[in-house]
Amino acid sequence: MALPEKLPSDLTDCGGLPPPMVRLREMGVYERLYYLCSLDHPKQFSIAAEIDGDLPLQELPHAFARLQRRHPLLNVEIHDQSAFGGRPRPAFYISDHPIEVALRPLVDDDDWMREIEYQQVLPLASAPGPLMRATVFHRPGRAQILLTFHHAIADGMSAVFVLRDLVAALAGQHIGLLSSRPSCDTLTVMHPEFTRSCDPKPPQKLDADALRAIGAEASRQASLAGRPSVKAVALDKVLTRRLREKARTQGTTVHGALSAAQTLSGYEQRPGIPYTIVSPLDLRELLGVNDESCGVYIGVSRHVHLASNQESFWALARQATDEIALAKNITATSKFMKSVMTNLPASAQPDLAMGLMTARHRDAMISNLGRLSIRQVFGDLRISAVWGPVYHAQAPQSRFLGAATVGCCLRLVETTPSGTMPLLGSVRQWLEVATTLSA
C-alpha cells in the first residue's frame, strides 16, 4: 500500500468522537511490544552522523517532507482500533504532521553526544505522529544530524537508510517512494520454509502474574535510571582493517570480537560471574525485505559466557558467532516470534510487555550495524561518520554498545545509566590486543 499523493489534513471534529483516520496497517507483535513498553517509559533510539560540506539549511523542510513521502512509517501515529470501531488492538494510522526538527549551531564536535543523552529520556509520544524527530547542528563546512526513532517503527538499519535518504534529499537528488511493508511476524509466517520449520509443540505459556511483577519492578528501576551517559570512540583505519582480517583468520567476525571484548571487560569489573550479551539480528535478507524501507525487522541472539571457564579471546568470539548463526534462521525466528505472540495477547497492558521484555537478564546489548555499504557522497555533501545506534536500556548496570563501520573506521558508542562505570576504554584495549593474539 503506497502513501497517497497528499496526506490527510484538517481532520474534522466529530462531536467528541475520534476524527476519521486512515489506517495504514495493524501493528506486528514486535512493534506492539515496543509500543506498550513505551507507554510507561521511552522506548526509542538514536543515530548520529557527521556531514562534511555546507548544509543547505533552506532545504531542510523540503528534504524532511520528501523523506516522509518515501517512508510510510514516518507518517504514522498509533491508536487502538477499538476507537474507530475495530477490534481492540493497536494499529498504525496515517498522520499529516511534519517531522519535528531542531536547528542549532555546531560549537563542539561532541555536541551530538550531549544531545543524544537528552533525546533518550525525552518521550516520543505515540500520537500525534510522526514517531521520529531530528536535531541538526551546523556551521560552515560541517554539520551533525541526529535522528531519534520510536522503536515501534524502526530498527538500526532503518535509521541508516533514512539518514542516507535525508542527505540525498538535501543534495537535491531523487529518492523515490516506497510501499508499506508487512510486519516482521507477518513476513515470518509468509516465509516459504515457515510451515516446515515450525515446532509442532506450542510455545511455553509464561506465568502472566510473574511477568507483570517483573515488569512493575523493571518500570520502577527505569524511573530511577535518569539520563544516560554516552561515550564514543573511533578505531582508526589501520586497527579496523587488522581487526577485520584477524577475525576472518580466526573463523569469526568483528561482531564476535566485540562480544569477546565486552565480556572480558565485564569480567575485569565483576570477576567470577557469568556475563550475558544480547545481540539484535538484522532479518531483512532472511525475510526478503530488500527495498531498504523503514521498519522493525530484527531477531535476537542471547549468549552467556561462563566466567568459570574463561576461554581465550578468539574462542569467546567464535562462541558468540556460533550462537548468532543458530538464531539467524527461519526456525529460530518463528519459534521466538510465536513465543512472544503467545505471551503478549491483544489485551496486554504495559506491565506485561515490560515483564516480557526484561524477564531474561542481560549485562549488555551489542547492536553492530556492520560495514555500511551506503553511499557517502551526495553532490557537495559527504557522510564522514555514523555513530550508533544509541539506546538507553534503563536498567541498573545494563550497557548498550552500538557499532558501525563507515569509511573503513569502526566507531563504537557505549550507553550506560548515569553513574555506571564505563567499559568502552577497556573494550577498545581488548580489540587492540586481540589483533596480536593467536587462537
pLDDT tens track for 7-55: 333 333 333 434 568 999 999 999 999 999 999 888 999 999 999 999 9
* Residue 194 CA, distance from chain mean position: 25
Least confident of 28-37, 63-72, 94-103, 210-219: 210-219
Of the pLDDT bands very low, low, confident and very high (cuts 50, 70, 90), residue 439 is low
CA atoms within a 13 Å half-sphere pointing along the CA-CB vector of 235: 30
pLDDT for res 86: 76
Domains, the chain:
23-184 (3.30.559.10), 188-368+416-434 (3.30.559)
* Residue showing cell 533510539: 45
* Position 220 pLDDT exceeds 60: yes
pLDDT for res 334: 86
Is residue 116 within 8 Å of 48, Cβ to Cβ? Answer: yes
For residue range 248-297, what is the model confidence (pLDDT) as tens digits?
999 999 999 999 999 999 988 888 888 999 999 999 999 989 889 999 99
Average of per-residue pLDDT values in the chain = 88
Least confident of 11-20, 60-69, 365-374: 11-20
Of the pLDDT bands very low, low, confident and very high (cuts 50, 70, 90), residue 304 is confident
pLDDT for res 160: 97
pLDDT for res 198: 67
pLDDT for res 5: 34
Is residue 221 within 8 Å of 394, Cβ to Cβ? Answer: yes
* Position 368 pLDDT exceeds 70: yes
**222 compared with 322, residue with greater pLDDT:** 322
Is residue 391 within 8 Å of 367, Cβ to Cβ? Answer: yes
Across 213-232, average pLDDT: 86
For residue range 137-151, what is the model confidence (pLDDT) as tens digits?
999 999 999 999 999
pLDDT for res 427: 96
